[in-house]
């Protein structure tokens, strides 16, 4: 019985460490992606509103996923021989993280909805100084090479 208990304790500790590591990885990747969006905004003027929205959404999704990993790790930590103090701490941690996750997902949903309704979102995303001609069936499938060949004629 002692070997099984030791195995379960070690397996639990390993899985908890993996969950915590995954949370760190997810947050780190989210920060890198948000930084990439920010740097693209700095180098491409005129799309700051879209870049801020994109950056916030990227960070929000990363934080939400990381909170899920951390909640799972907290639950696993207290599965083996918990005390009432451990259960109380777990309940407080889960409540705080769940509330944070709820509001985070709410903000993401509101932001995503406002982005989808914004008529200028895609126009601002790739800011062009001039207006492009409307697409007709004849010009819809043309490639840049086609346009260069037509200009050369």
Q: How confident is the model at residue 15 (pLDDT cuts 50, 70, 90)?
A: very high
Q: What's the mean pLDDT in 51-61?
A: 84
Residue 143 domain flag: no
- Closest to 126 measured CA to CA, from 65, 41, 4: 41
The CA dihedral of 76, 79, 84, 90, to the nearest 10 degrees, is 20
Residue 133 domain flag: no
Residue that wins the pLDDT comparison between 75 and 150: 75
Residue 134 domain flag: no
pLDDT value of residue 42: 77
Residue that wins the pLDDT comparison between 151 and 29: 29
pLDDT value of residue 148: 52
Q: At what angle do helices 2-43 and 48-77 cross, to 10 degrees?
A: 170
Residue 146 domain flag: no
Domain region containing 44 = 2-128
Residues 6+ apart with CB under 8 A from 82: 90
pLDDT at 20 over 90: yes
Place of tokens 């920060």: 31
Q: pLDDT tens digit string along 100-134?
A: 889 888 888 888 777 666 555 444 444 444 444 44
Q: pLDDT tens digit string along 83-105?
A: 899 889 899 999 998 898 898 88
Residue 122 domain flag: yes
Q: How far apart are CA 58 and CA 67, in angstroms?
A: 14
Residue 136 domain flag: no
pLDDT value of residue 147: 55
Enter the pTM of the model: 0.65
Report long-range pairs for 117-123 (Cβ below 8 Å, ≥24 apart): 121/50, 121/53
pLDDT at 143 over 80: no
Instruction: Tally the residues of the chain.
Output: 153
Residue 141 domain flag: no
């Amino acid at each position: 019985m002692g070997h099984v208990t030791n195995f379960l304790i070690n397996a639990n500790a390993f899985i908890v460490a993996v969950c915590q590591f995954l949370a760190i990885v997810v947050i780190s990747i989210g920060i890198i992606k948000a930084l990439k969006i920010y740097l693209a905004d700095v180098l491409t003027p005129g799309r700051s509103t879209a870049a801020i929205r994109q950056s916030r959404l990227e960070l929000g999704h990363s934080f939400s996923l990381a909170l899920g990993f951390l909640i799972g790790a907290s639950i696993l930590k207290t599965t083996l021989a918990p005390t009432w103090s451990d259960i109380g701490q777990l309940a407080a941690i889960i409540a705080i993280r769940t509330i944070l996750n709820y509001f985070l997902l709410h903000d993401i949903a509101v932001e995503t909805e406002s982005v989808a309704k914004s008529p200028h979102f895609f126009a601002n995303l790739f800011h062009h100084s001039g207006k492009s001609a409307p697409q007709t069936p004849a010009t819809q499938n043309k490639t840049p090479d086609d346009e260069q060949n037509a200009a050369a004629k």
